[in-house]
Amino acid sequence: MHRRAELVDQTRQRITEAAARLHTTIGPANTSIAAIAEEAGVTRVTVYRHFADLDALFEACTAHWQAENPTPDASRWPLTGDLDLRARQALLALYAWYRDHAAELFPLFRDLTAMPRSTQDLMRDERGQLGDLLVQGHAQDDDAGRQMRAVARHLVGYPTWRSLAIEQDLSDAEAAEIGVRMLTGMAASALAPGTR
């Protein structure tokens, strides 16, 4: 009863891969179950057999894609040392990854609202943690620290990279350097008091 389960898994795999391929090309919003089935070389009924609802398919699909395209390992960022060194290294790695996956990421972010709430929340939280980690130890628990964290979370987002690097045609190094500058500038002096 090995080979049997194996074949079933292969079919399931083919479906999730097909879904991932469509999500990263035409986008989740335009991805119908019929299209997934066709792309996977499978009948619509088979898709229904494997995934109760679209959310289940989405979940498998997300997990699969993330496993295939791991983001830069944040745990390797230098946790001590100057803020600008850490920020530069982190942003450069992150922005390089965004550029490598720009084509696939675009439809995903464009159709963000077409995805299950859980997936949206997951992505938002991951970005938030990444941003917080970026300025950990430099952002206190006051207004200035809150603002600094906000900027950090803004900087680590794909939309920010896209705005600077694609729409404004900056190089990744330029975009990263601007981010570094922004963070170090905020660390140097608080915003005008009363600015809130």
Partner DNA sequence: ATTCCAGTGAACAGGGACGTATACTAGAGT
Partner DNA sequence: ACTCTAGTATACGTCCCTGTTCACTGGAAT
Question: Which residues of the chain form contacts with a copy of itself (CB under 8 A)?
Answer: 29, 110, 112-113, 124, 147, 149-151, 153-154, 157, 159-160, 163-164, 167-171, 173-174, 177-178, 181-182, 185-186, 191-192, 195-196
Residue window 6-45: x/- pattern of binding to DNA, with contact defined by CB under 7 A: -xx--xx-------------------xxxx-----xxxxx
Distance of CA 146 to the CA centre of its chain: 22
Q: Using the rule CB under 7 A, which residue among 19, 23, 24, 48 binds DNA? A: 48
Asked if residue 184 lies in contact with residue 88, where contact means CB atoms within 8 angstroms, the answer is no
Distance CA 75, CA 58 (A): 27
Burial class (CB in 10 A: 0-12, 13-18, 19+), 108: buried
Distance CA 133, CA 22 (A): 32
Q: Angle at the Cα of 193 (from 190 to 194), degrees rounded to 5? A: 135
Residue 44's binding partner among a copy of itself, DNA, none (Cβ under 5 to 8 angstroms by kind) is: DNA
**In the complex, least distance from residue 185 CB atom to a copy of itself, rounded to whole angstroms:** 5
What are the start-end ranges of the E strands in the chain? none
Residue 118's binding partner among a copy of itself, DNA, none (Cβ under 5 to 8 angstroms by kind) is: none
Contact between 50 and DNA per CB under 7 A: yes
Distance CA 116, CA 55 (A): 6
Contact between 149 and DNA per CB under 7 A: no
- C-beta closer to a copy of itself: residue 74 or 173: 173
Residues that bind DNA (CB under 7 A): 1-5, 7-8, 11-12, 32-35, 41-46, 48-50, 53-54
